[in-house]
């Protein structure tokens, strides 16, 4: 299963793609989609959308995951971040991909083992989980962590789904 993770931001949206086969993870690619600060908000969002669409076209992931943005002290910044997150959600959805969403604490717990890990710990664990990976930027490391989190959570959901692992659900009788 090829998964793309996004760490959304208006200035820099990190992305990372992994292949997940059972417990095995393999790095495919990572990077950052940047918007030009001098442009209008609409033009910047369009830059993000086009950049993400190009990545989806090139690498053809089967599922996507986006980190949930938490509010910060500046309402204007929070709103702009939310708009960038919207682009990261809708672009893969428009391409027909299922899109998962994960809180930062869940991403950190999935990758590092604690929900209060710092950025350096996340980057170090991404590096260990994806040997040989050349991480393009901190935002890309976070995006790879989101993809890893999705792969782990997806596998767990499949194991617990009714009708899997030899367990059948009872059929409803009229």
Rounded mean pLDDT for each run of 10 residues along the chain, 174 residues in total: 97 98 94 98 98 98 95 87 97 98 96 92 96 95 98 72 49 43
- Quote the CA–CA distance of 126 and 143 in Å, as a whole number: 10
Which residues are designated catalytic? 7, 67, 139
Helix (H, G, I), strand (E, B) or coil at 10: coil
Return the pLDDT at 158: 58
Return the pLDDT at 154: 83
Q: Which CATH number fits domain 2-160: 2.30.30.90, 3.40.50.2300, 3.40.50.300, 3.30.420.10?
A: 3.30.420.10
């Amino acid at each position: 299963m090829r998964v793309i993770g996004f760490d959304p931001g208006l200035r820099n949206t990190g992305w990372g793609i992994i292949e997940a086969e059972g417990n095995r993870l393999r790095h495919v690619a990572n990077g950052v989609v940047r918007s030009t600060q001098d442009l209008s908000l609409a033009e910047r969002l369009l830059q993000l959308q086009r950049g993400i669409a190009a990545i989806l076209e090139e690498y053809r992931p089967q599922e996507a995951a986006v980190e949930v943005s938490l509010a910060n002290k500046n309402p204007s910044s929070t709103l702009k971040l939310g708009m960038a997150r919207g682009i990261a959600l809708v672009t893969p959805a428009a391409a027909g991909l299922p899109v998962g969403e994960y809180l930062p604490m869940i991403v950190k717990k999935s990758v590092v083992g604690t929900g209060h890990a710092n950025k350096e710990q996340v980057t170090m664990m991404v590096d260990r989980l994806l040997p040989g990976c050349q991480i393009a930027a901190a935002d890309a490391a976070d995006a790879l962590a989101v993809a890893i989190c999705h792969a782990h959570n997806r596998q767990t959901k499949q194991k617990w789904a009714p009708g899997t692992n030899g367990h059948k659900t009872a059929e409803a009788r009229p």
